[in-house]
Structure 1
Amino acid sequence: MTVVDLKAVPNVLIAEADPWTRDLLKQVVLTVRCDAQLDVCGDGQQAFALLGKKPYGLVIADRDLPGIGGLDLLRAVRQRRAVPALPFILLSERSDSASVREALPMAPTAYLTTPLDIEGLTKRLKVLLLEAGQEVSCDAPTLAPGTTLPRFLEQHRASSDGAPLLVDAQSALKGSLGPDGLDLALLEQAVRTDPQITAVLIAAANSAAQHRVSPAQTLEQALQRLGPVQGMNLVLGLTLKRSAQLSDPCLADYAERYWALSLRAADYGRTLAGMLNLDQERCYCAGLLHRLGDLAVLRCLQEWQQGGGELDTRAIDASLAEFGAAYGSALRTRWRLPLELRELIAAIYHLGGGVYSRESLVMNLAAQVAGLAPEEGVDVLASSKTARLLRVGVSELSRLLKAV
């Protein structure tokens, strides 16, 4: 880290109910000031309590926070009559003149409507958090003395950011922009093979803030619910995160192999679902996401390496074997991916007891086909329990292999 006067390091409070918007705000702040001390919360009562415990250099709060709203938080801050006034950015879905006029007497530093203009927010944060000409850079966190690789991975399992990006998200966004703004269809086509982007957008589309009954289970459905601006913001936010791309050639090679496995299962699942008149895109999505945990482990291994840890292929293989499934399960649960989608992902690995949906059978068989060695035929698969339940024989399996 560059030498910075410790008094100039800002304490920033972010109060936002939606976890995905909260995470995006955190990433934008850290992009401007990587050394910022952040407190994040999802309700107004917690934000109010934090404001009473320590001084902040900036507050970013949503107007419609549960408990105590952002407008009431701003009112409480202004009643303290601090000099200079505490910078306070108020976020709101309301852009009507009456709502704006209601906030003006409390003198918010900025009143920003959502979905956010990330470029505009970044410019405001630079003015608020940096002196003219000031630059702050931060090194990767170093490992605590005595930390072992298994312990490091276990500690990060519950907080993992997920998989690295495997498509060029910046180019995808630029290529999807037209005269009328972002084209959702073009963006979907550009990023649809990326497990991390797909998982995060589906999770964000199903968050509580969306107030939806029927869950989005495919990337296309997620983008339609999020809309162009929020969809673009979330993809952009992923590119801002630490270790968003794998820079180590060995780890990148591992990621390419796991990505290829995901794509094969996804393509076979979609094609087989089409042959049986089932939901092709949901099956594709399940196949794409089934190696998300392994990819997330690879991303954490890069952070281990950047922190000063040693790494070789034996350690990589052992880490994937021990933690790949656990990381995937933790991510799917924490991100609250739809239960139906999680069941299809689970079916790729094994079929439990009881009654199976036809789509679960499709994904189990697709994984078996994807795992065939080049010299192996489909005769054994045709006699498997899964194929028999689907009534798929040698002819259909041969056609499947030719189609993908």
Structure 2
Amino acid sequence: MTKDFKAAPRIVIAAQDPWTRELLGQLLGNVRCDAILLPFADGSSALEACKKRLPDLIIAEWALPGTNGLDFLGEIRRLQRKPPLPFILMTDRTDSASVREVLPLAPTAYLVHPFNMDKLQQRLRDLLLAPGQEVFCEIPSLKAEQSLDAYLEGLRNESDGAPLLDEVKDALSLVLKAEQMDLTILEQQFGRDPQITARLIAAANSAAQHMGRPSQTLAQALPRLGVAHSINLVMGMALQRGTSLTDARLAQQGEYFWGLSQRTADYARQLAEEQGIDAERCYCAGLLHSIGDLALLRCLQNWLIAGGTLEDEAITKALRKFGAGFGSALRTRWRLPLELRELIAATYQLTGVYGRESLVLHLAAQMARWPDDKPLKELAASKAAQQLNASESKLQRLMPARVVKELPEPVLEPTTEVLPHET
């Protein structure tokens, strides 16, 4: 295959899981931002597309519905194309029998999950770029006279979600270097990050993974995904643009919302344990309740990268106006379970018929925001505290070191999250 592409390379991605297709698309975009990506969820449709017009590269999983990845590779090799069409086969199979079965078909690469991202990206560069060749793609620019509000409105239903905690990349490096990787280590390393938690729960509940009741916590999602798939998804998130907040003002706001999310989650877990209800689900709901604010900060950074200007007052105004809406849109688009979304909504306000879990989340959110200099007696008199029998002394015990960051919190208008019925 010539690597001196006169036009953008066409690349077929065949993977049943949509999150895997997204990960591979991200990797390919980092190497050839001009690539034309052709994603497929099954091998039969991918093979049919290839017979109509051969792509420049195929990346396929072995475990595909319809025509599996190995048969797909065999059909491509029977076309007798010279030189052979580059074909990367991905699999969980490491046994010698599987390797012997694949070798006669000469895949360009045989990748076992979790694959090494750096090595895969280097292999993709070798396949898609000639020596010394570089491809430059313009950063999407703002439309003429486009306002910040119009820009954010356009991204409300399309954002990539929240940035990642700074320590995630270090944690990922430690996980990959560990002699033995297990689900407990993954939960310990990534269970404080809202973006990773939400995306892994969503991936576990996708059509390819769904079994029985939906996963509502990271601890439930990880066994469904498995160690290798979970790590690959986290690595994919770490490679996305905008996962770190480089603007100092946005980073400061990010620290505030991460801290707020984690305090709410911790308080929700403690209160739930005392009430004898599902502590992990309450923890997860608390952790995810500010994901819209964090996603908005990521979009504001992209606004700056695209050439926009951003005054301090505009940041606060945007958070007040769009933060809750971004969160609701993300949770719906990622199809987080309805019960979990209802608990998240309870952090803002109690509506309709609610149970103890909703009371726990509402009180936990109040506790996380409670200023040091405000008497706990007022919090104990709140509706949620009284119904949970959370006295002033109990609150004092749960909040021994009430250190609320000095960063003033933007005033979020109460919002009722739209919770469509799951299908």
Shift of 1:328: 0.9
Contact 1:165–1:244 (CA under 8 A) maintained in structure 2: yes
Provide TM-score, normalisation by structure 2. 0.84
- Residue number in structure 2 paired with 1:395: 393
Which residues in structure 2 correspond to 1:217-296 (within 5 Å)?
Answer: 217-296=216-295
Q: Which segments of structure 1 move beyond 6 Å, counting only runs of 4 or more?
A: none
* Residue aligned with 1:208, SS: coil
* Residue aligned with 1:209, SS: coil
Shift of 1:285: 1.7
The residue type paired with residue 338 of structure 1 is: P
Please, which of 356, 359, 379 is the counterpart of residue 358 of structure 1?
356
- Residue number in structure 2 paired with 1:163: 162
Query: What are the superposed Cα offsets for residues 111-150 of structure 1, whole Å, 9 maximum, x if unpaired?
Result: 4344444344334323211223434454422223343322
Q: Distance in 1 between matches of 2:68 and 2:369?
A: 53
The residue type paired with residue 360 of structure 1 is: S
- Residue number in structure 1 paired with 2:302: 303
Q: Distance in 1 between matches of 2:393 and 2:100?
A: 69
2:375 maps to 1:377: yes
Which residues in structure 2 correspond to 1:43-82 (within 5 Å)?
Answer: 43-44=42-43, 46-48=45-47, 50-51=49-50, 54-82=53-81
Shift of 1:288: 1.3
Contact 2:204–2:210 (CA under 8 A) maintained in structure 1: no
- Residue number in structure 1 paired with 2:420: none
**For the structure 1 residues 260 and 211, does the alpha-carbon distance in structure 2 shift closer, same or farther, using more than 3 Å as the test?**
closer
**For the structure 1 residues 94 and 6, does the alpha-carbon distance in structure 2 shift closer, same or farther, using more than 3 Å as the test?**
closer
Q: Which range is displaced more, 122-131 or 236-245?
A: 122-131
* Residue aligned with 1:402, SS: coil
Q: Distance in 1 between matches of 2:203 and 2:309?
A: 35
Q: Distance in 1 between matches of 2:157 and 2:52?
A: 28
Shift of 1:58: 0.6
* Residue aligned with 2:335, SS: coil
Identity among equivalent pairs (%): 53
**For the structure 1 residues 242 and 178, does the alpha-carbon distance in structure 2 shift closer, same or farther, using more than 3 Å as the test?**
closer
- Residue number in structure 2 paired with 1:17: 16
Q: Distance in 1 between matches of 2:190 and 2:95?
A: 34
- Residue number in structure 2 paired with 1:367: 365
Q: Distance in 2 between matches of 1:316 and 1:386?
A: 31
- Residue number in structure 1 paired with 2:346: 347
- Residue number in structure 1 paired with 2:317: 318
Q: Which range is displaced more, 63-72 or 324-333?
A: 63-72
Q: Distance in 2 between matches of 1:284 and 1:212?
A: 23
Q: Distance in 1 between matches of 2:401 and 2:372?
A: 15
Provide structure 2 residue ranges, at least 5 long, that are not aligned to the other structure. 403-423
**For the structure 1 residues 288 and 176, does the alpha-carbon distance in structure 2 shift closer, same or farther, using more than 3 Å as the test?**
same
Provide structure 1 residue ranges, at least 5 long, that are not aligned to the other structure. none
Query: What are the superposed Cα offsets for residues 294-349 of structure 1, whole Å, 9 maximum, x if unpaired?
Result: 11111111111111122222322232223212211121122222333222111111
- Residue number in structure 2 paired with 1:207: 206
Q: Distance in 1 between matches of 2:315 and 2:53?
A: 42
**For the structure 1 residues 98 and 5, does the alpha-carbon distance in structure 2 shift closer, same or farther, using more than 3 Å as the test?**
closer
The residue type paired with residue 144 of structure 2 is: P
Please report the RMSD computed on the Cα atoms of aligned residues, expressed in angstroms.
Answer: 2.8
**For the structure 1 residues 302 and 208, does the alpha-carbon distance in structure 2 shift closer, same or farther, using more than 3 Å as the test?**
same
- Residue number in structure 2 paired with 1:386: 384
Q: Distance in 2 between matches of 1:202 and 1:184?
A: 14
Indicate the structure with greater helix content. Answer: 1
Query: What are the superposed Cα offsets for residues 196-224 of structure 1, whole Å, 9 maximum, x if unpaired?
Result: 12212222233333343243333334334
Shift of 1:286: 1.3
- Residue number in structure 1 paired with 2:91: 92
Query: What are the superposed Cα offsets for residues 174-233 of structure 1, whole Å, 9 maximum, x if unpaired?
Result: 334555233544443333322112212222233333343243333334334433332322
The residue type paired with residue 220 of structure 1 is: A
Q: Distance in 2 between matches of 1:177 and 1:70?
A: 26
Contact 2:4–2:129 (CA under 8 A) maintained in structure 1: no
Q: Which range is displaced more, 278-287 or 160-169?
A: 278-287
Shift of 1:29: 1.7
Contact 2:4–2:130 (CA under 8 A) maintained in structure 1: no
Shift of 1:83: 3.3
**For the structure 1 residues 317 and 46, does the alpha-carbon distance in structure 2 shift closer, same or farther, using more than 3 Å as the test?**
farther
Q: Distance in 1 between matches of 2:101 and 2:143?
A: 49
Q: Distance in 1 between matches of 2:79 and 2:143?
A: 41
Contact 2:166–2:244 (CA under 8 A) maintained in structure 1: no
Aligned length: 400
Which residues in structure 2 correspond to 1:132-147 (within 5 Å)?
Answer: 132-147=131-146
* Residue aligned with 2:157, SS: helix
Shift of 1:76: 4.5
Contact 2:293–2:324 (CA under 8 A) maintained in structure 1: yes
